[in-house]
């Protein structure tokens, strides 16, 4: 009985860098030994192991095939490229994943064979070839990947979109715009995201049309893409999107408008402060914060008062109040006074003073340390009480400069 019919000590062989011994171990009857030997050969990175490891890609045990693929990626010998591309057809996901990783490590040597693999009859092989080309990022793959946008398999088309985004070559912009008309919503969604990621303004009009796509996920991606590009042509369509039936589309539109910063969006965003959905309130408030409040502070206060009058007080009111406090322009004393308050549970009191078309807001809370920006020493204030329709008394504060 030879030593390799027994269990060889892989750790010792690796420590000694005994490549021949490890190659022999690839034929051991124990699949764990074979897999460990393949891994050790990958760590040693001796080119003598390439052919034995290529043969190990056909091992009956997936662990051995997986270890062999990983090892070949570590050694990075061009002889392994075609066998690894063949391994993209392996029935086991982990083996295919290791083959992709190994081919990525080989980069230049793998590009042309992978491009040829785009013609493989097996759709799984085409998908994985596309994925690997995207990971490598070589511009030689751009035109073949553009052609893959017309593949009969939707998964191939979807991955081709993602690969083209990763490579980032401008030649892909027009083909990706065409992909917005793909019959598969997942492909359209990926195309919208890719165009947003690439940031090319040629896509703006098509992305605006995508706001009306029949698929909600595509609509949401279109809003995000227009936000990333930041073109003012999107302002009016995004304002319309504030009225979407999808709250996520609404919120994303508000966020996008805040980032673009066009003054046309200010009034619609102020109106969104009164939305029944707290999520929309908060997003609109943050958008206005990015834009900076202008001299129409009185309009903001009106919406704030509407929020504060609601029972129960909506979530997000604190954020709206804080934004008014931080960003409203200042005017001196002698102005009309606007007051508002909420119930005792929230402990927040708001009062606003301003000259008709503007006001400055102050917040008084039970725990004043939560609002350190208020200098109480320089303010005069008085209490007032209000009796609601149920006869309940609420306490508020009016503040004068």
Peptide bond into 210 cis (omega under 30): no
In this structure, which long-range contacts are made by residues 153-159, counting pairs with CB atoms below 8 Å and at least 24 apart in sequence?
153/123, 153/126, 153/127, 154/182, 154/184, 154/186, 154/187, 155/123, 155/127, 156/123, 156/126, 156/127, 156/130, 157/182, 157/184, 157/187, 158/184, 158/186, 158/187, 158/190, 159/127, 159/130, 159/131, 159/134
Q: Of 46-60, 211-225, 342-356, which range is least confident?
A: 342-356
Span 36-47, average pLDDT: 95
d(CA 31, CA 19): 18
Confidence of residue 328 (pLDDT cuts 50, 70, 90): very low
Q: What is the mean pLDDT of residues 105-111?
A: 90
Average pLDDT over residues 395-401: 36
Q: State mean pLDDT over 383-388.
A: 37
Q: Are 114 and 85 in contact (CB under 8 A)?
A: yes
Position 116 pLDDT exceeds 80: yes
Q: Does pLDDT of 390 surpass 70? A: no
Tell me what the mean pLDDT of segment 196-206 comes to: 96
User: Angle, to 10 degrees, between the axis of helix 247-260 and the axis of helix 278-291?
Assistant: 10
Q: Is pLDDT larger for residue 15 or for residue 321? A: 15
The pLDDT score that the predictor gives to residue 334 is 36
Stretch among 75-79, 198-202, 374-378 having the lowest mean pLDDT? 374-378
Q: How confident is the model at residue 127 (pLDDT cuts 50, 70, 90)?
A: very high
């Amino acid at each position: 009985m030879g030593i390799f019919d027994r269990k060889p000590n892989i750790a010792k062989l690796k420590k000694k860098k005994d490549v021949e011994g490890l190659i022999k171990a690839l034929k051991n009857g124990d699949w764990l030994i074979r897999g460990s030997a393949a891994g050790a050969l990958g760590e040693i990175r001796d080119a003598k192991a390439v052919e034995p490891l290529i043969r190990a890609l056909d091992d009956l045990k997936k662990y051995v095939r997986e270890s062999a693929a990983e090892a070949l990626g570590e050694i990075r010998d061009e002889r392994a490229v075609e066998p690894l591309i063949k391994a993209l057809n392996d029935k086991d996901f982990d083996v295919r994943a290791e083959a992709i990783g190994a081919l990525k490590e080989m980069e230049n040597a793998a590009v042309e064979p992978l491009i040829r693999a785009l013609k493989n009859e097996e759709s799984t092989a085409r998908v994985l070839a596309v994925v690997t080309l995207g990971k490598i990022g070589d511009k030689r793959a751009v035109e073949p990947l553009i052609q893959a946008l017309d593949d009969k398999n939707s998964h191939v088309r979807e991955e081709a979109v993602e690969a083209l985004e990763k490579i980032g070559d401008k030649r892909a912009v027009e083909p990706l715009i065409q992909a917005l008309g793909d019959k598969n919503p997942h492909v359209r969604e990926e195309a919208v995201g890719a165009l947003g990621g690439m940031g090319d303004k040629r896509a703006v009009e098509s992305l605006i049309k995508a706001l009306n796509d029949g698929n909600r996920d595509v609509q949401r991606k279109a809003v995000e893409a227009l936000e990333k590009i930041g073109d003012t042509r999107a302002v009016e369509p995004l304002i319309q999107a504030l009225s979407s039936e999808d709250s996520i589309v609404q919120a994303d539109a508000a966020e996008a408008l805040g980032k673009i910063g066009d003054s046309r969006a200010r009034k619609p965003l102020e109106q969104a402060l009164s939305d029944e959905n707290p999520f929309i309130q908060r997003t609109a408030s943050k958008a206005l914060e990015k834009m900076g409040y202008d001299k129409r502070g009185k309009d903001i206060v009106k919406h704030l008062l509407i929020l504060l009058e609601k029972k129960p007080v909506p979530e997000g009111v604190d954020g709206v109040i804080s934004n008014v406090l931080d960003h409203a322009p200042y005017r001196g004393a002698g102005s009309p006074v606007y007051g508002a308050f909420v119930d005792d549970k929230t402990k927040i009191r708001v009062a606003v003073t301003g000259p008709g078309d503007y006001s400055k807001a102050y917040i008084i809370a039970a725990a004043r340390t939560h609002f350190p920006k208020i200098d109480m020493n320089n303010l005069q204030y008085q209490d007032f009480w209000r009796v609601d329709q149920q006869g309940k008394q609420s306490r508020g504060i009016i503040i004068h400069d």
